[in-house]
Amino acid sequence: MAIGRVTQNMMVRQSLSAIETNASRLAQSQEQLSTGRRLNRPSDSPGDTIAAMRVRGEQAALAQHTRNAEDGMGWLNQLDGALSSITSQVRRARDLALQGANEGMSSASAREALAVEVDQLRESLIATANSQYLGRPVFGGITAGASAYDASGAWVGQAGAVNRTIGNGVSIAVNVNGPDVFGVDGASLFDELESLSNSLRAGDTAGIQTSITELNTRQDAIITTQAGVGIRAKRVEQVLTDATSSDLSLTSRLSDLEDADLIKAAIDVKLQEVAYQSALATSARVLSNSLLDYLR
Protein backbone atom coordinates (compact mmCIF):
# COMPACT_ATOMS: atom_id res chain seq x y z
CA MET A 1 0.00 0.00 0.00
CA ALA A 2 1.49 3.32 -1.12
CA ILE A 3 1.72 6.10 1.47
CA GLY A 4 1.61 9.69 0.18
CA ARG A 5 4.46 11.84 1.27
CA VAL A 6 3.52 15.04 3.06
CA THR A 7 6.10 17.75 2.58
CA GLN A 8 6.66 20.95 4.44
CA ASN A 9 5.75 22.90 1.29
CA MET A 10 2.38 21.17 1.11
CA MET A 11 1.65 22.00 4.73
CA VAL A 12 2.56 25.63 4.16
CA ARG A 13 0.29 25.91 1.12
CA GLN A 14 -2.61 24.27 2.92
CA SER A 15 -2.16 26.51 5.94
CA LEU A 16 -2.09 29.66 3.83
CA SER A 17 -5.15 28.49 1.87
CA ALA A 18 -7.04 27.90 5.13
CA ILE A 19 -6.10 31.35 6.41
CA GLU A 20 -7.26 33.04 3.19
CA THR A 21 -10.52 31.07 3.15
CA ASN A 22 -11.36 31.91 6.74
CA ALA A 23 -10.33 35.54 6.26
CA SER A 24 -12.65 35.80 3.23
CA ARG A 25 -15.55 34.27 5.16
CA LEU A 26 -14.91 36.58 8.11
CA ALA A 27 -14.81 39.63 5.82
CA GLN A 28 -18.09 38.59 4.18
CA SER A 29 -19.78 38.08 7.54
CA GLN A 30 -18.50 41.43 8.80
CA GLU A 31 -19.74 43.16 5.64
CA GLN A 32 -23.23 41.69 6.06
CA LEU A 33 -23.33 42.77 9.69
CA SER A 34 -22.06 46.30 9.00
CA THR A 35 -24.32 46.95 5.98
CA GLY A 36 -27.33 45.00 7.20
CA ARG A 37 -27.64 43.50 3.73
CA ARG A 38 -27.20 39.93 2.61
CA LEU A 39 -26.83 40.98 -1.03
CA ASN A 40 -24.12 43.57 -1.47
CA ARG A 41 -23.14 42.56 -5.00
CA PRO A 42 -24.65 40.24 -7.64
CA SER A 43 -22.01 37.59 -7.01
CA ASP A 44 -23.26 37.12 -3.44
CA SER A 45 -26.28 35.22 -4.82
CA PRO A 46 -27.07 35.50 -8.55
CA GLY A 47 -30.46 33.84 -8.19
CA ASP A 48 -31.62 36.12 -5.36
CA THR A 49 -30.21 39.13 -7.20
CA ILE A 50 -32.39 38.38 -10.22
CA ALA A 51 -35.42 37.91 -7.98
CA ALA A 52 -34.68 41.20 -6.19
CA MET A 53 -34.41 43.02 -9.53
CA ARG A 54 -37.82 41.69 -10.51
CA VAL A 55 -39.33 42.84 -7.22
CA ARG A 56 -37.80 46.29 -7.69
CA GLY A 57 -39.30 46.40 -11.19
CA GLU A 58 -42.71 45.58 -9.73
CA GLN A 59 -42.23 48.32 -7.14
CA ALA A 60 -41.37 50.86 -9.84
CA ALA A 61 -44.46 49.90 -11.87
CA LEU A 62 -46.65 50.07 -8.76
CA ALA A 63 -45.26 53.50 -7.88
CA GLN A 64 -46.04 54.79 -11.37
CA HIS A 65 -49.56 53.37 -11.31
CA THR A 66 -50.07 54.95 -7.89
CA ARG A 67 -48.97 58.35 -9.19
CA ASN A 68 -51.34 57.94 -12.14
CA ALA A 69 -54.19 57.01 -9.81
CA GLU A 70 -53.50 59.99 -7.55
CA ASP A 71 -53.51 62.30 -10.57
CA GLY A 72 -56.73 60.69 -11.79
CA MET A 73 -58.32 61.14 -8.39
CA GLY A 74 -57.45 64.84 -8.56
CA TRP A 75 -59.25 65.11 -11.92
CA LEU A 76 -62.29 63.21 -10.66
CA ASN A 77 -62.53 65.22 -7.43
CA GLN A 78 -62.43 68.43 -9.45
CA LEU A 79 -65.14 67.08 -11.74
CA ASP A 80 -67.32 66.02 -8.81
CA GLY A 81 -67.08 69.44 -7.20
CA ALA A 82 -67.84 71.21 -10.48
CA LEU A 83 -70.83 68.96 -11.21
CA SER A 84 -72.21 69.54 -7.71
CA SER A 85 -71.98 73.29 -8.29
CA ILE A 86 -73.61 72.95 -11.72
CA THR A 87 -76.47 70.90 -10.29
CA SER A 88 -77.08 73.53 -7.61
CA GLN A 89 -77.08 76.37 -10.14
CA VAL A 90 -79.38 74.55 -12.57
CA ARG A 91 -81.76 73.86 -9.71
CA ARG A 92 -81.75 77.56 -8.86
CA ALA A 93 -82.43 78.45 -12.50
CA ARG A 94 -85.36 76.03 -12.49
CA ASP A 95 -86.73 77.64 -9.32
CA LEU A 96 -86.52 81.04 -10.99
CA ALA A 97 -88.37 79.68 -14.00
CA LEU A 98 -91.09 78.32 -11.74
CA GLN A 99 -91.41 81.74 -10.12
CA GLY A 100 -91.61 83.38 -13.53
CA ALA A 101 -94.39 81.03 -14.56
CA ASN A 102 -96.39 82.04 -11.48
CA GLU A 103 -99.25 84.38 -12.13
CA GLY A 104 -98.14 86.52 -9.19
CA MET A 105 -94.84 87.38 -10.92
CA SER A 106 -96.54 89.09 -13.85
CA SER A 107 -95.05 92.54 -13.36
CA ALA A 108 -92.30 93.55 -15.74
CA SER A 109 -89.94 94.61 -12.93
CA ALA A 110 -90.33 91.26 -11.16
CA ARG A 111 -89.67 89.32 -14.35
CA GLU A 112 -86.67 91.56 -15.11
CA ALA A 113 -85.18 90.76 -11.71
CA LEU A 114 -85.61 87.05 -12.39
CA ALA A 115 -84.07 87.40 -15.84
CA VAL A 116 -81.06 89.28 -14.44
CA GLU A 117 -80.41 86.45 -11.97
CA VAL A 118 -80.75 83.89 -14.76
CA ASP A 119 -78.16 85.83 -16.76
CA GLN A 120 -75.82 85.80 -13.77
CA LEU A 121 -76.33 82.07 -13.36
CA ARG A 122 -75.49 81.58 -17.02
CA GLU A 123 -72.21 83.49 -16.63
CA SER A 124 -71.39 81.56 -13.47
CA LEU A 125 -72.06 78.24 -15.21
CA ILE A 126 -69.75 79.20 -18.08
CA ALA A 127 -67.04 79.89 -15.50
CA THR A 128 -67.73 76.54 -13.83
CA ALA A 129 -67.63 74.83 -17.22
CA ASN A 130 -64.04 76.11 -17.51
CA SER A 131 -62.96 74.46 -14.25
CA GLN A 132 -59.35 73.32 -14.44
CA TYR A 133 -57.09 70.75 -12.88
CA LEU A 134 -53.38 71.55 -13.11
CA GLY A 135 -54.06 74.06 -15.86
CA ARG A 136 -56.23 71.78 -18.01
CA PRO A 137 -60.01 72.20 -18.40
CA VAL A 138 -61.78 69.12 -17.02
CA PHE A 139 -64.65 69.57 -19.49
CA GLY A 140 -62.39 70.37 -22.45
CA GLY A 141 -61.69 66.82 -23.61
CA ILE A 142 -58.16 66.55 -25.02
CA THR A 143 -57.86 70.22 -25.94
CA ALA A 144 -54.47 71.85 -25.54
CA GLY A 145 -56.14 75.13 -24.65
CA ALA A 146 -56.84 76.52 -21.20
CA SER A 147 -60.63 76.81 -21.67
CA ALA A 148 -63.45 74.48 -22.58
CA TYR A 149 -65.97 77.25 -23.36
CA ASP A 150 -65.63 80.79 -24.65
CA ALA A 151 -67.41 83.82 -23.20
CA SER A 152 -70.50 83.18 -25.34
CA GLY A 153 -70.90 79.63 -24.05
CA ALA A 154 -69.66 77.91 -27.21
CA TRP A 155 -67.57 74.77 -26.69
CA VAL A 156 -63.97 75.28 -27.84
CA GLY A 157 -62.65 71.96 -26.56
CA GLN A 158 -61.79 68.80 -28.46
CA ALA A 159 -63.70 65.60 -27.82
CA GLY A 160 -61.63 62.79 -26.40
CA ALA A 161 -60.84 60.86 -23.24
CA VAL A 162 -58.06 61.79 -20.83
CA ASN A 163 -56.97 58.35 -19.63
CA ARG A 164 -54.82 57.29 -16.72
CA THR A 165 -53.24 53.83 -16.51
CA ILE A 166 -53.86 52.67 -12.94
CA GLY A 167 -52.77 49.05 -13.31
CA ASN A 168 -51.35 46.51 -15.71
CA GLY A 169 -53.64 46.82 -18.72
CA VAL A 170 -56.13 48.91 -16.72
CA SER A 171 -56.93 52.41 -17.96
CA ILE A 172 -59.67 54.78 -16.84
CA ALA A 173 -61.01 58.06 -18.24
CA VAL A 174 -60.73 60.89 -15.73
CA ASN A 175 -62.45 63.68 -17.68
CA VAL A 176 -65.91 64.48 -19.05
CA ASN A 177 -66.46 66.11 -22.43
CA GLY A 178 -68.41 69.35 -22.11
CA PRO A 179 -71.21 68.45 -24.53
CA ASP A 180 -72.00 65.35 -22.42
CA VAL A 181 -72.91 67.68 -19.54
CA PHE A 182 -73.99 70.97 -21.08
CA GLY A 183 -75.30 69.75 -24.44
CA VAL A 184 -74.21 70.61 -27.97
CA ASP A 185 -73.94 74.17 -29.24
CA GLY A 186 -77.35 75.45 -30.30
CA ALA A 187 -79.12 73.24 -27.78
CA SER A 188 -76.88 73.62 -24.76
CA LEU A 189 -77.62 74.56 -21.18
CA PHE A 190 -76.33 78.04 -21.93
CA ASP A 191 -78.72 78.38 -24.86
CA GLU A 192 -81.58 77.17 -22.68
CA LEU A 193 -80.78 79.73 -20.00
CA GLU A 194 -80.58 82.48 -22.58
CA SER A 195 -83.97 81.40 -23.89
CA LEU A 196 -85.38 81.39 -20.36
CA SER A 197 -84.04 84.90 -19.75
CA ASN A 198 -85.68 86.17 -22.95
CA SER A 199 -88.97 84.46 -22.09
CA LEU A 200 -89.00 86.02 -18.62
CA ARG A 201 -88.46 89.50 -19.99
CA ALA A 202 -91.15 89.00 -22.64
CA GLY A 203 -93.60 87.41 -20.22
CA ASP A 204 -93.78 84.34 -22.49
CA THR A 205 -95.38 81.77 -20.19
CA ALA A 206 -95.23 79.02 -22.80
CA GLY A 207 -91.53 79.68 -23.35
CA ILE A 208 -90.92 79.58 -19.60
CA GLN A 209 -92.73 76.24 -19.34
CA THR A 210 -90.56 74.88 -22.14
CA SER A 211 -87.46 76.06 -20.27
CA ILE A 212 -88.63 74.32 -17.10
CA THR A 213 -88.96 71.03 -19.00
CA GLU A 214 -85.51 71.50 -20.56
CA LEU A 215 -83.91 72.28 -17.22
CA ASN A 216 -85.51 69.21 -15.63
CA THR A 217 -84.06 67.03 -18.38
CA ARG A 218 -80.69 68.76 -18.13
CA GLN A 219 -80.58 68.32 -14.37
CA ASP A 220 -81.26 64.58 -14.67
CA ALA A 221 -78.43 64.24 -17.23
CA ILE A 222 -76.01 66.10 -14.95
CA ILE A 223 -76.90 63.91 -11.98
CA THR A 224 -76.37 60.79 -14.10
CA THR A 225 -72.98 62.09 -15.23
CA GLN A 226 -71.98 62.86 -11.66
CA ALA A 227 -72.95 59.34 -10.62
CA GLY A 228 -70.65 57.97 -13.32
CA VAL A 229 -67.82 60.18 -12.06
CA GLY A 230 -68.46 58.88 -8.54
CA ILE A 231 -68.21 55.27 -9.73
CA ARG A 232 -64.88 55.97 -11.42
CA ALA A 233 -63.59 57.79 -8.34
CA LYS A 234 -64.53 54.82 -6.16
CA ARG A 235 -62.63 52.52 -8.49
CA VAL A 236 -59.51 54.70 -8.39
CA GLU A 237 -59.79 55.01 -4.61
CA GLN A 238 -59.83 51.22 -4.33
CA VAL A 239 -56.72 51.04 -6.51
CA LEU A 240 -54.94 53.45 -4.17
CA THR A 241 -56.00 51.38 -1.15
CA ASP A 242 -54.77 48.16 -2.76
CA ALA A 243 -51.51 49.86 -3.78
CA THR A 244 -50.63 50.47 -0.13
CA SER A 245 -51.07 46.79 0.68
CA SER A 246 -49.15 45.71 -2.43
CA ASP A 247 -46.28 48.06 -1.61
CA LEU A 248 -45.96 46.58 1.88
CA SER A 249 -45.94 43.07 0.42
CA LEU A 250 -43.26 43.92 -2.15
CA THR A 251 -41.13 45.67 0.47
CA SER A 252 -41.35 42.58 2.67
CA ARG A 253 -40.33 40.32 -0.23
CA LEU A 254 -37.40 42.56 -1.08
CA SER A 255 -36.30 42.61 2.54
CA ASP A 256 -36.35 38.81 2.66
CA LEU A 257 -34.13 38.70 -0.43
CA GLU A 258 -31.66 41.49 0.34
CA ASP A 259 -31.56 42.18 4.07
CA ALA A 260 -29.44 40.18 6.47
CA ASP A 261 -30.67 38.56 9.67
CA LEU A 262 -28.64 40.68 12.07
CA ILE A 263 -28.73 38.15 14.91
CA LYS A 264 -27.58 35.36 12.61
CA ALA A 265 -24.98 37.67 11.05
CA ALA A 266 -23.57 38.55 14.48
CA ILE A 267 -23.28 34.86 15.37
CA ASP A 268 -21.63 34.13 12.02
CA VAL A 269 -19.05 36.86 12.65
CA LYS A 270 -18.13 35.31 16.01
CA LEU A 271 -17.90 31.82 14.49
CA GLN A 272 -15.77 33.06 11.60
CA GLU A 273 -13.50 34.94 14.03
CA VAL A 274 -12.94 31.73 16.01
CA ALA A 275 -12.26 29.77 12.81
CA TYR A 276 -9.86 32.45 11.57
CA GLN A 277 -7.97 32.63 14.85
CA SER A 278 -7.73 28.83 14.92
CA ALA A 279 -6.33 28.81 11.40
CA LEU A 280 -3.76 31.44 12.37
CA ALA A 281 -2.74 29.52 15.50
CA THR A 282 -2.42 26.23 13.63
CA SER A 283 -0.45 27.81 10.81
CA ALA A 284 1.86 29.51 13.29
CA ARG A 285 2.79 26.15 14.72
CA VAL A 286 3.33 24.59 11.30
CA LEU A 287 5.24 27.49 9.80
CA SER A 288 7.47 27.92 12.87
CA ASN A 289 9.37 24.70 12.14
CA SER A 290 12.84 25.18 10.75
CA LEU A 291 15.63 22.87 9.50
CA LEU A 292 17.00 22.59 13.01
CA ASP A 293 13.65 21.16 14.18
CA TYR A 294 14.07 18.28 11.71
CA LEU A 295 17.74 17.68 12.67
CA ARG A 296 16.97 17.19 16.38
Q: Are 236 and 284 members of one domain?
A: no
Say if residue 267 is in the same domain as residue 163: no
Does 32 fall in a domain? no
Q: Cβ distance 72 to 236 under 8 Å?
A: yes
Residue 39 lies in a domain: no
Position 5 in a domain: no
Judge whether residue 197 has pLDDT over 90.
yes
Does 228 share its domain with 277? Answer: no
Domain with 216 in it: 53-254
CA dihedral 227, 232, 233, 234 (to 10 degrees): 90
Q: What is the pLDDT of residues 120-143, one digit of tens each?
A: 999 999 999 999 999 999 999 999
Are residues 134 and 113 both part of a single domain? yes
Whether 9 maps to a domain, the answer reads no
Does the pLDDT of residue 273 top 90, yes or no? no
User: How many domains does the structure of the chain reveal?
Assistant: 2
Same domain, 274 and 240: no
288 and 170 fall within a common domain: no
| pLDDT value at 208 more than 60 | yes
Residue 41 maps to a domain: no
- Mean pLDDT: which of 37-51, 164-178, 276-290 is highest? 164-178
Looking at residue 161, which CATH number applies to its domain? 1.20.1330.10
Q: Residue 24 domain-assigned?
A: no
Give the span between the Cα atoms of 285 and 15, in whole angstroms: 10
- Whether 282 has a pLDDT exceeding 80, the answer reads no
Same domain, 134 and 205: yes
Cβ atoms within 10 Å of 202's Cβ, excluding its own: 13
What is the tally of helices (H) and strands (E) in the chain? 8, 4
* Model confidence at 114: pLDDT above 70: yes
Examine residue 235 and state whether it is found in any structural domain, yes or no: yes
* Same structural domain, 186 and 273: no
Same domain, yes or no: 235 and 292: no
pLDDT of 262 higher than 90:
no
User: 183 lies in a domain?
Assistant: yes
Question: What pLDDT does residue 225 have?
Answer: 95
Q: Are residues 69 and 120 in the same domain?
A: yes
Whether residue 194 is found in the same domain as residue 273: no
Instruction: Supply the pLDDT for residue 258.
Output: 73
94 lies in the same domain as 188 = yes
Give the chain's radius of gyration (CA, Å).
Answer: 39
Alpha carbon separation from 4 to 1, 7, 275, 287 (Å, rounded): 10, 10, 27, 21
Average pLDDT, the chain: 85
Mean pLDDT throughout 252-264?
74
